[in-house]
Amino acid sequence: MSTTDTHRAGPNWPFWVTIAAVTSAYLALLLGMLLATATYSSPHHLIRALGSREIQYATGLSLSTCTVTALLSLVIAVPVGYLMSRGQFRGKNTLDTLLDVPIVLPPMVIGLCLLILFQTPLGRAIDRVVPFTYTVFGVLLAQFTVGAAFAVRQMRTTFDHLPSRPEDVAMTLGCSRGQAVRLVTLPAAKRGMFSAASVAWARSLGEFGPILVFAGATRMKTEVLPTTVWLELSVGNLEAAIAVSLMMVALAVAVLLAMRALGERP
């Protein structure tokens, strides 16, 4: 006996309308925030604020330390990301959790931990040779601690997405593991490496808590752009704080666009 199926699937538009509404609401918050900040003061006032010697020093320090941090992060992220992606060893899960600690720890706590590390006998000995506490090197170390964790995560994802078979083939063709990685895997991971360095750079640009605690907020010494925003706000100079914030937004958007452009390249 045959039966007639009377069921009819419902329309799809309520699903898409709901998704569009949620997306629009979030987008409205982001754009509203940026637009309100951008239009709070006149361009003339903003440009004048950016001309101050302190802000120019902070900009220079931010750009240079972020670049050094991005490169240092990559030096760590490539081998560690490779190990976490391809290595099979006891304690891998524990190591994985440890590597994520800088990502989940409150920023201030990272700064405090660094400060305490440099109060230990070993830390004091290092500090005597290369002074980290309350110096530009401290800014770098604070940025690196967090930035490298993000770069490691990015490189691990990159290696996870690259098949290991070409590397195996290279080894049968006469390569050692190191040669196979250098000649076959790393060239294929170039985009991932750029992406990891960009993530570390962008994270470092916005880093504030660990720098404040570990390197301090001394004008013309350890002042980076987020420190400037905080210092200018604390003395009521809202225009300077806004000018620096907008500059950081522009830099962050530029990095995001560069990453997106590279990611979409065939």
Partner 1 sequence: MIALEGIAIHAGAFALNDVTFTVPTGAYGVLMGPTGCGKTTLIEIICGLRKAATGRVLVNDRDVTREPPGNRGVGYVPQDGALFPTLTVREQIGFALRIRRQPSEERVAELAEHLGIAHLLDRKPSGLSGGERQRIALGRALAFRPSILCLDEPLSALDEDTKDDMYKLLLAVQQHERVTALHVTHSHEDADRLADVILRIENGKVIT
Binding pattern for the stretch 32-51 against partner 1, x by CB under 8 A and - elsewhere: --------------------
Q: What is the DSSP string of 13-79?
A: HHHHHHHHHHHHHHHHHHHHHHHHHHTSS-HHHHHHHHTSHHHHHHHHHHHHHHHHHHHHHHHHHHH
Nearer to partner 1, 95 or 188 (CB): 188
d(CA 232, CA 56): 14
Structure tokens at 89: 């060893």
Among 37, 52, 67, 179, binds partner 1 (CB under 8 A): 179
Question: Minimal distance in Å, beta carbon 92 to partner 1?
Answer: 18
Q: What is the DSSP string of 133-153?
A: TTSHHHHHHHHHHHHHHHHHH
129, amino acid identity: V
Q: What is the largest CA-CA distance in the chain?
A: 91
Q: How big is the site for partner 1, counted in residues (CB under 8 A)?
A: 19
If you search the block for the tokens 């960009």, which residue do you land on? 198
d(CA 49, CA 241): 9
Question: Minimal distance in Å, beta carbon 190 to partner 1?
Answer: 8
Site for partner 1 in 183-242 (CB under 8 A): 183-184, 187-188, 190
Q: Which residues contact 53 (CB under 8 A, 6 or more apart)?
A: 220
Nearer to partner 1, 174 or 236 (CB): 174
262 belongs to the binding site for partner 1 (CB under 8 A):
no
Q: Which stretch binds partner 1 (CB under 8 A): 16-24, 76-84, 169-177, 227-235?
A: 169-177
100 belongs to the binding site for partner 1 (CB under 8 A):
no
Binding pattern for the stretch 123-162 against partner 1, x by CB under 8 A and - elsewhere: ----------------------------------------
Q: Which stretch binds partner 1 (CB under 8 A): 16-24, 82-90, 170-178, 208-216?
A: 170-178
Question: Minimal distance in Å, beta carbon 185 to partner 1?
Answer: 9
Q: Which residues contact 115 (CB under 8 A, 6 or more apart)?
A: 133, 213, 214
Alpha helices in 87-208 (DSSP H): 92-104, 107-117, 121-129, 136-161, 165-172, 177-180, 186-188, 190-206
95 belongs to the binding site for partner 1 (CB under 8 A):
no
Question: Minimal distance in Å, beta carbon 166 to partner 1?
Answer: 5
Nearer to partner 1, 10 or 174 (CB): 174
172 belongs to the binding site for partner 1 (CB under 8 A):
yes
- Say how far residue 113 (Cα) sits from the centre of its chain: 20
265 belongs to the binding site for partner 1 (CB under 8 A):
no
Among 90, 165, 235, 236, binds partner 1 (CB under 8 A): 165
178 belongs to the binding site for partner 1 (CB under 8 A):
no
Q: Do 196 and 121 form a contact (C-beta atoms < 8 A)? A: no
Residues in contact with partner 1 by the rule CB under 8 A = 163, 165-166, 168-176, 179, 183-184, 187-188, 190, 266
